[in-house]
Amino acid sequence: MIQNWKLNTEMRFKSAVIRTVRRNFYVNDVLKSALSTEQAVHLTSDLTKLLKEGGFRLTKFASNSSGVLQSISPELRANPQLDLDLDQLPLERALGVYWDAQSDTFKFKALQSGKPPTKRGVLSTVSSLFDPLGFLSPFVFSPKILLQKLWRDQLPWDQQIPEPYLSQWQRWLEKLPHVIAIGIPRCYKTQSLRNSSNVQLHNFADASRRGYAAVSYLRFVDEEGVIHCSFVMGKIRNAPIREWTIPRLELQAAVLAARLSKMILQSFP
């Protein structure tokens, strides 16, 4: 019975719709890109029909295209009261990451929580910056080094951190509000880039006595030889408290880059 239903589904719905269900759902959210508004409208409609047969009702639709949102009933949108003719597209959440639908960029919010300058307060503030793709890794690395120093000095969780650590922490907090000005384009390709004849994934790794890191970029070359590079993902790690040699840290960075590359390649269709 299940096999017959599966066969019937594959005959009635396009492979792109079925592949979306299999590959683009994360817990109870689905994230999907389309090459055009028309494709997105058809995909949204077919996806809704397919899941309805299984008793699932898709809601809270968000898009960077007003045309796609107009094809969806207002009660099914993430912002039912949004006036598509007058209002700008709002800031949405996509898997915990802020997404500015109007500019189609990823954004960050810096909340000044007023945490006390203690080891617990430092950890709480740094952890509040949700950044799974590593956009802010160079900025977040400084307080991570500070936390490691506090661990090494065995400072209690709720004791105020002493100098010179306190000054370092206060300087970082002064820079924190500026992260709201950061905008990372969601799309790897630019609109000016013609059909790409060559796409490469480049991985870089490096290490120092304080930590090691890896970062991945996509390199596009179009038919006219125009080159465009896009940041994909980065990872950064503190060096262990028990000091390692630089060659060993470099090797760890290379391993991190290899794992990062494998994960990215598996996630691409």
**DSSP string spanning 210-252?**
SEEEEEEEEEEEETT--EEEEEEEEEEEEPPSSPPPHHHHHHH
Please state the pTM of the whole predicted model.
0.85
Domain membership of residue 108 (yes or no) is no
28, 98: one domain: yes
Which residues of the chain are under the pLDDT cut of 50? Answer: 1-2, 5
Q: 163 lies in a domain?
A: yes
pLDDT digits (tens, 9 = 90+) for 49-58: 998 888 889 9
Residue 260, class by beta-carbon neighbours within 10 Å (0-12 exposed, 13-18 middle, 19+ buried)? Answer: buried
- Counted domains in the chain: 3
Mean pLDDT for all residues in the chain:
89
Inside any domain, residue 196: yes
Select from 181, 215, 230 the last residue of a domain. 181
Confidence (pLDDT) at 114: 79
- 142 and 231 both lie in a single domain: no
> Is residue 111 assigned to a domain?
no
Q: Are residues 27 and 71 in the same domain?
A: yes
For residue 44, the number of C-alpha atoms closer than 13 Å in the C-beta half-sphere is 23
Determine the structural domain holding residue 137 and report its residue range. Answer: 119-181
